[in-house]
Chain A
Amino acid sequence: MPETTFIIKRYNPEKGVFYTSEYKVPYESDTTILSGLIYIKDYLDRTLSFRYSCRMASCGSCGMVVNKKPTLVCRTLIESVKKPIYIEPLYNFPIIKDLVVDIDIFLDKLKFVKSYIIREKEEDLDKEYIVKPEQLDLIKHSSSCINCMLCYAACPVFGSDEEFIGPAALAILYRYLHDPRDQAKSERIKIASLKNSAYMCSMVGQCTVVCPKGVDPSFHIQRLKVISTLNNLFS
């Protein structure tokens, strides 16, 4: 079985020091980087910490930076990347330990964009809303975010100012703004118009490039800018 080297950037929070560890990992044509990390944890070094669960690119736990690129390691084959493999924690977030970062700031942003349907009154439970397939298509991509945080790690604007609401939360804002069941359009446009919202984006577009789920935050943010601008012009 071929072998490769994982070079992992580590952080020891108790001592407050960064260091690197290197491990030899055997792999086959279908071994993922995540399987490699689990191998290290099981057999080589039990002090290594990282998050994972679903191993099928749906839970969003396993975001890391692989060879400088924000990546979901469960869906990335060892075979497909340059070796030795250099792994770092996600950029732009405080590091808790090793490859584990603190994403609480995103959860605050999610709440801030009011990530839920707002209506004057909830309908009775015997009645479904009519939503045409083409209306659903409008939110198809923006509702596919798994909150993996790769886009925040790739965003230079968030990197320099954490006040920025950021790609995923703005995509989710777009999603609720375009949901035909929602009745809080003006409230949402107000959020889109804030200083730390859509306008802050400088259109680097890396968010869209790194997204593993085909969400296009860059596009959604540009649309939010247009919607906010038009709204300001006509109100």
Chain B
Amino acid sequence: MDKYSHDVIVIGGGAAGLRAAIEAASKSPKLSVAIVSKVYPMRSHTVSAEGGAAAAIKPDDNFDLHAYDTIKGSDFLADQDAVELFVRLAPREIIRLEHWGCPWNRDQEGKIDVRWFGGMSVKRTIHAADKTGFYLLHTLFQTSLKYDNIVRYDEYFVTSIIVENNRFCGITALSLRDGAFHFLKGKAAIIATGGAGQIYKFTTNGAINTGDGMALAYRIGVPLKDMEFVQFHPTCLPGSGILISEAARGEGGYLLNNKYERFLKNYVPTKMELGPRDIISRAIVNEIRLGNGFKGKHGDYVALDLRHLGEEKIEEKLPQIRELAKTFVGIDPVNELIPVRPGQHYFMGGVHVDLNTSTPVAGLFAAGEASCVSINGANRLGSNSLPECLVFGAISGEHAAKFAIEHDYCNVAYENIQIEEKRIFDQLLKKESGIAPAEIKYKLKETMEEKVGILRNEKELLEACREVEKLKEMFKNVSAGDKTMIFNTDIVEILELDFMLDVAEAVAYSALYRKESRGAHYRTDYPERNDKEYLAHTLVYKTREKPQIDYLPVKITKWQPAERKY
């Protein structure tokens, strides 16, 4: 075992992690900042974000408007002080990215262009064609190369966070390249590990989105917040789950049922295709239940119609959508309908942090999709996540740097590190025989999809909690089928599955206890929102037995909860 030391350790190299690292590194060239990522940073799933990033940068827009849209979209569960901070800082971050070279689309005058997005009352989504995440991530990554005090640990898989006396001390990581186990000592750390879409069967997320950081925090006693709020995006390609961005509707696309009707007139008449995602996803499920879906080999679907936009506009504004549809379903949207159905997309919940992105553990921060500040409440508006990663990534970098300047390293009991090393090498790797991770993984995905999906009820949620418990039991018998050390992706999958099980547990239990419907959490047995009892964030804690649930009041500044109508 060897050790390396850094003032700030950033776990994750997506939008939030890179922005955090740059902020921390620019505070002082004397600070050593590590980015530890299980994939090369430019492979992070931020790269797949398509539609854009929202910020009030235009004269017809203002902070209060962006804040209110976000709060209403959140079904009044967002913390309003967090939202106010977010909308104020988002424009600066967009301009900063512009200064770093991000090729945002321009209007004829050469100013940054904006497009419509769901739930927004003005055009405020800044974009780079329909590959916004790709441009944003590569801009951040390439800019990070400028900083000599950023040290990268590419393809290092973080297995645990070491905490003593409620103070962050370091992390343990497996270097995939050589199979070496390392302890990285740090004064402060930022969890920026992204979402956990892989716990669902049908998801827009990449294979690496296994909720590692959420589970890492949960295991050291940090509560996860609002985990029951899982966003299902209305328009994903059947079969693969590949996302067809909301930008397609922002640019004027229609959703049609098998009668070729724009059925959203019956659900969100004032917003139509630009309604919020939770409502549109439920509308699609309902249309399919009514028998109004098209039949397909991967199940029923509805259609996204872009034909009236014309080839020129599609090429200019939605080139990737066209490429994806052609490649993955053999359809050219210029003259055909795209088959779509809702799929898991985003976690509103995550590691519980305050406005400074601090977790309850001293020196440990979290930002991006892995965290929950919360600005997204019960339903995120499309294009609010990328700016959230930038705004709170920057805040976390600043506060982690400050913490590192003001504190020293803490002393670590090396037994704790050895316990972790033994867990990986003796319990998982060297164990003679056992079950394969795939067996558990697919059962888990199936369970979450069927029982903790778009429509939920007590009976199924209870079954899901039991099923996850059972799968956790089964996991004890998993062993690695590959016993070698160098680039062993089998062991990676096993460690990820272990994290996924913890996250699934947190989601299922949080959903079971919230006996109301709000935003993306829809209970058929409690179809109404219940502000009297549940205008509060769920906090879920890991215990030796069942997870423990607690609630935290929502912070309201100036917008009183009202009925959410579009």
**B11-44 with Cβ < 8 A to chain A:** 39-40, 42-44
Q: Any chain A CB within 8 A of the CB of B142?
A: yes
Q: Any chain A CB within 8 A of the CB of B422?
A: no
Q: How many B residues are at the interface, by size bracket? A: 35 or more
- Give the contact stretch, choosing among A124-132, A190-198, A201-209, A225-233: A124-132
- In the complex with contacts A43-B438, A52-B207, A128-B47 CB distance below 8 A: no
CB pair A59–B486 under 8 Å, yes or no, is no
Residues of A within 8 A of B146 (CB): 116
* CA gap between A116 and B146 in the complex, in Å: 7
* CA gap between A129 and B57 in the complex, in Å: 14
How far in angstroms is the closest Cβ of chain B from A72?
Answer: 10
Q: Any chain B CB within 8 A of the CB of A219?
A: no
Q: Any chain B CB within 8 A of the CB of A117?
A: yes
CB pair A55–B111 under 8 Å, yes or no, is no
CB pair B48–A56 under 8 Å, yes or no, is yes
How far in angstroms is the closest Cβ of chain A from B241?
Answer: 9
CB pair B142–A131 under 8 Å, yes or no, is no
CB pair B207–A96 under 8 Å, yes or no, is no
Q: Any chain A CB within 8 A of the CB of B499?
A: no
CB pair A179–B101 under 8 Å, yes or no, is yes
How far in angstroms is the closest Cβ of chain B from A211?
Answer: 13
* CA gap between A56 and B239 in the complex, in Å: 13
CB pair A54–B47 under 8 Å, yes or no, is yes
**A119-145 with Cβ < 8 A to chain B:** 119, 122-123, 125-133, 135-136, 139-140, 143-145
Q: Any chain A CB within 8 A of the CB of B106?
A: yes
CB pair B45–A30 under 8 Å, yes or no, is no
Contact with B along A94-131 (1 / 0, CB 8 A): 00111010111001001100011101001101111111
Q: Any chain B CB within 8 A of the CB of A46?
A: yes
Q: Any chain A CB within 8 A of the CB of B543?
A: no
Chain B facing A: main interface SS: loop
- In the complex with contacts A54-B45, A55-B240, A49-B101 CB distance below 8 A: no
Q: How many A residues are at the interface, by size bracket? A: 35 or more
Q: Any chain B CB within 8 A of the CB of A57?
A: yes
Q: Any chain A CB within 8 A of the CB of B480?
A: yes
Residues of A within 8 A of B133 (CB): 58
How far in angstroms is the closest Cβ of chain B from A14?
Answer: 6
Contact with B along A158-176 (1 / 0, CB 8 A): 0000000000000010001
**B311-336 with Cβ < 8 A to chain A:** 323-324, 327-330
Which single member of B45, B103, B436 contacts A59 (CB below 8 Å)?
B45
* CA gap between A46 and B480 in the complex, in Å: 8
- In the complex with contacts A97-B487, A117-B101, A131-B110 CB distance below 8 A: yes
Q: Any chain A CB within 8 A of the CB of B88?
A: no
How far in angstroms is the closest Cβ of chain B from A129?
Answer: 7
Residues of B within 8 A of A126 (CB): 92, 95
**B64-114 with Cβ < 8 A to chain A:** 92, 95-96, 98-101, 103, 105-112
CB pair A130–B110 under 8 Å, yes or no, is yes
Residues of A within 8 A of B131 (CB): 58, 144
Q: Any chain A CB within 8 A of the CB of B481?
A: yes
Can you name the residue of chain B whose Cβ is closest to the Cβ of A13?
B486
CB pair B485–A14 under 8 Å, yes or no, is yes
Q: Which residue among B109, B135, B142, B481 has the maximum number of chain A CB atoms within 10 Å of its CB?
A: B142
**B215-241 with Cβ < 8 A to chain A:** 239-240
Q: Any chain A CB within 8 A of the CB of B484?
A: yes
Q: Any chain A CB within 8 A of the CB of B527?
A: no
* CA gap between A144 and B249 in the complex, in Å: 24
Can you name the residue of chain B whose Cβ is closest to the Cβ of A57?
B327
Residues of A within 8 A of B207 (CB): 52-55
CB pair A56–B242 under 8 Å, yes or no, is yes
CB pair B101–A176 under 8 Å, yes or no, is yes
Residues of B within 8 A of A30 (CB): 239-240, 328-330
New contact pairs (5) apart from A41-B490, A130-B111, A172-B142, CB-CB < 8 Å: A41-B489, A59-B48, A115-B145, A125-B92, A136-B106
- B contacts, CB < 8 Å to A: 39-40, 42-45, 47-48, 57, 92, 95-96, 98-101, 103, 105-112, 131, 133-135, 138, 142-143, 145-146, 154, 177, 206-208, 239-240, 242-243, 323-324, 327-330, 436, 438, 480-482, 484-490
Complex A-B: 14 CB contacts under 8 Å: A46-B481, A49-B489, A51-B39, A51-B489, A55-B240, A56-B242, A57-B324, A58-B48, A59-B47, A97-B484, A103-B40, A133-B105, A179-B101, A182-B101
Closest 10 A/B residue pairs (Cβ): A46-B481, A130-B110, A42-B438, A115-B142, A53-B206, A97-B487, A47-B482, A117-B101, A54-B206, A132-B110
